[in-house]
Amino acid sequence: MFFEITAGTNPDNAYSHQLPSQMQQGDLILFDLGYFCMKTLNNINRIGAYFLCRYLVGTALLDPVTSMSVDLLQNIEDNTGQFSSDEGSYGQKKRGNPVICRLVCLRVPQDIANERRRKLRKSAQRKNRRSPSDYHLQMAD
């Protein structure tokens, strides 16, 4: 186990590249989206360790066999249950080395989804954007 105290002004993502060097085969790391970095996830996989983090909406998903793009929203809508789990790969074909992993999807209660959509709209307004994309609003579920 390790921990390090850094300045609060340092962005989490700037530190994420150091995480794999602190890990050993079989380790599990949990982190939030602030640390989401494809290179870091790839390095964690490479050493035989594991990670658990939220999906960054908009990250490309590829079929691990065909390397074709996967429409996550369509797959979720096709699954009528509250839970879905599929092996796939994160990343973009153009950048190489996608991360093979398991993606687990859980539906949240409607009030939580509505609160997420409210926050997305507020954030878009604060950034002088029209509104969040339909895709982002639907992924709030």
**Residue ranges in 72-109 assigned as alpha helix (H):** 72-78
pLDDT of residue 66 exceeding 60: yes
Q: Is position 24 within any domain?
A: yes
Residues 100-123: pLDDT tens digits?
A: 888 888 888 999 999 999 999 999
What is the rounded CA–CA span in Å between residue 114 and residue 129?
Answer: 19
Please, which residues have CB within 8 angstroms of residue 23's CB and are 6 or more apart in sequence?
A: 29, 44, 47, 49
Q: Is position 13 within any domain?
A: yes
Q: Is position 38 within any domain?
A: yes
At 38 the pLDDT is: 84
Q: Is position 18 within any domain?
A: yes
Q: Where are the beta strands (DSSP E) in 9-98?
A: 28-30, 50-52, 61-62, 83-90
Q: Is position 66 within any domain?
A: no
Mean pLDDT across the chain: 83
Count up the domains in the chain and report the number.
Answer: 1
At 15 the pLDDT is: 80
What is the rounded CA–CA span in Å between residue 134 and residue 114?
Answer: 14
Q: What is the dihedral of CA 112, 117, 120, 124, to 10 degrees?
A: -160
Q: Is position 34 within any domain?
A: yes
pLDDT of residue 92 exceeding 60: no
> What is the separation, in whole angstroms, between the first and last Cα of the chain?
34
Of 39-43, 61-65, 110-114, the poorest mean pLDDT is in 61-65
Q: Is position 6 within any domain?
A: yes
pLDDT band for position 3 (cuts 50, 70, 90):
confident
Strand 99-106 versus strand 61-62 pairing type: unpaired
Q: Is position 23 within any domain?
A: yes
Q: Which domain holds residue 8?
A: 1-54
pLDDT of residue 22 exceeding 60: yes
At 121 the pLDDT is: 93
pLDDT of residue 80 exceeding 70: no
Most confident of 76-85, 108-117, 119-128: 108-117
